Amino acid sequence: MDPLTLWIVIGAVVLAAFVVVGVVAARRRAALQRARDTRQLPGGPGAGTGGRRGGSALDVDERAGRGVTTDDEVVEAELVPVDRPESRDSRLARLRRRLAGSDSPLSRGLLTLISRDRIDEDTWEAFEEVLITSDLGVGPTTELVEALRGRLRVDGVSDPAHARAILREELVRLVDPHLDRTVHADRGETPAVIMVVGVNGTGKTTTVGKLARVLVAEDKDVVLGAADTFRAAASEQLATWGDRVGVPTVRGPEGSDPASVAFEAVKAGIEQEVDVVIVDTAGRLHTKTGLMDELGKVKRVIERQAPVGEVLLVLDATTGQNGLTQARIFRDVVNITGIVLTKLDGSAKGGIVVQVQRELGVPVKLVGLGEGVDDLAPFDAEVFVDALLDAG
């Protein structure tokens, strides 16, 4: 081989080597850049401020096996199996089955009314008492009883099926099928933002995780924000839900500023162009002023980047009047747009659905029926009433 040919061959080999090295380096830089959004930022537990705007050291736990990174290397994580949530129709069917299988005082009272050949004054008084003790409230109870007395006095109760149809119609009207029960989670110019509020112990963080599953089942991309930084292990609990459904969780050190975590969650959602950001908030009920300051600040900080489209209040359906007291406080603190009722099963007094809607002037949008991962269902007035009558 003559010297000229030899130099040409050597040059071609060197050029090819540079191309290969360049491609590998470019791929590594791209992977590192993607991963930086999910890495542990400086500060760690107990730290003060960190590297991102917003005031605290935060991390985004990227789920579904996207890898854990540092500035110097990319380490591939094991793939996390991701559940496929049930569809909306399947969850509605589950709602009806669970409610129909309950044995609530309200359903028993309904059965008593429509099973009588003749409804006398004692029957009406007993029925009215059942409605009030089922957390329906005095106003709605009076409204329902007067409507039924008027209609059944005219139509009679000789035909149980006809009496049942009248009762169903009046109950559906009371629950109000015309309220907008949509969870507004459609992306606009920025991701839709949902704040979830409520007292600790009502199932608030669990509801956030289950709601993420609901939205994933609707093919939406979701980011979770663990802004409940005062309850031990709250962010870990939320991150576990993120793992199960395959969505990332933005969180900060325990005790860090909740507004900062919320800010970073929305920021991550904007950068990643997701559809929805769900922010879990602290549920401490100290004083009304304290809640106003904390939740108001969280909302204001979020809205520097994107509007808050939903503020969902989580209530335990079994707490009755205590739950309504909590609802009044949160109503005065933030602009509630919808209610999530958890534990709406045989131990709950189903009348709270009507009373809390009347109290807050907003609809029940979702209900939780148990501990299962898909036991969060959209609330439907007719399905609810039919299930009560089936249970009766």
Residue 280, marked binder: yes
Average pLDDT over residues 61-70: 34
Average pLDDT over residues 331-350: 80
Residue 202, marked binder: yes
Give residue 191's pLDDT. Answer: 96
Residues 6+ apart with CB under 8 A from 332: 288, 292
Kindly tell me the number of DSSP H helices and DSSP E strands found in the chain: 13, 11
Residue 322, marked binder: no
Between CA 228 and CA 150 the distance in angstroms is 50
Give residue 58's pLDDT. Answer: 43
* Interval 195-231: pLDDT, tens: 999 888 888 999 999 999 889 988 899 999 999 888 7
Between CA 54 and CA 154 the distance in angstroms is 66
Bigger pLDDT: 382 or 58?
A: 382
Residue 180, marked binder: no
Q: Which has the minimum average pLDDT: 32-41, 241-250, 333-342?
A: 32-41
Bigger pLDDT: 137 or 98?
A: 137
Give residue 87's pLDDT. Answer: 65
Give residue 126's pLDDT. Answer: 84
Residue 206, marked binder: no
Tell me the domains of the chain and their CATH numbers. Answer: 88-175 (1.20.120), 192-336 (3.40.50.300)
Residue 89, marked binder: no
Average pLDDT over residues 132-154: 85
Residue 49, marked binder: no
Looking up tokens 């960190």, which residue turns up? 50
Residue 228, marked binder: no
- Are 364 and 82 a contacting pair, CB within 8 Å? no
Give residue 390's pLDDT. Answer: 72
Bigger pLDDT: 231 or 58?
A: 231
Helix (H) or strand (E) holding 3: helix 3-36
Residue 282, marked binder: yes
* Interval 93-135: pLDDT, tens: 766 666 665 556 676 677 777 676 677 788 888 888 888 887 8
Where does the pLDDT of residue 285 fall: very low under 50, low under 70, confident under 90, or very high at 90 and above? low
Give residue 30's pLDDT. Answer: 45
3-state secondary structure (DSSP) of residue 120: coil
Residue 390, marked binder: no
Residue 229, marked binder: no
Supply the DSSP symbol for 312: E
- Are 300 and 261 a contacting pair, CB within 8 Å? no
Percentage of the chain lying above the pLDDT 90 cut: 28
3-state secondary structure (DSSP) of residue 43: coil
- Are 217 and 86 a contacting pair, CB within 8 Å? yes
CA 148 to the chain's CA centroid: 36
Give residue 82's pLDDT. Answer: 55
- Are 256 and 57 a contacting pair, CB within 8 Å? yes
Q: Name, of 14-18, 85-89, 177-181, 233-237, the range with top average pLDDT.
A: 177-181
Give residue 5's pLDDT. Answer: 65
Give residue 296's pLDDT. Answer: 87
Give residue 69's pLDDT. Answer: 29
Provide φ and ψ at 327, rounded to 5°. -60, -40
Between CA 352 and CA 388 the distance in angstroms is 13
Average pLDDT over residues 139-164: 81
Residue 205, marked binder: yes
Whether residue 54 is predicted with pLDDT greater than 60 in this model: the reply is: no
Residues 6+ apart with CB under 8 A from 292: 332, 333
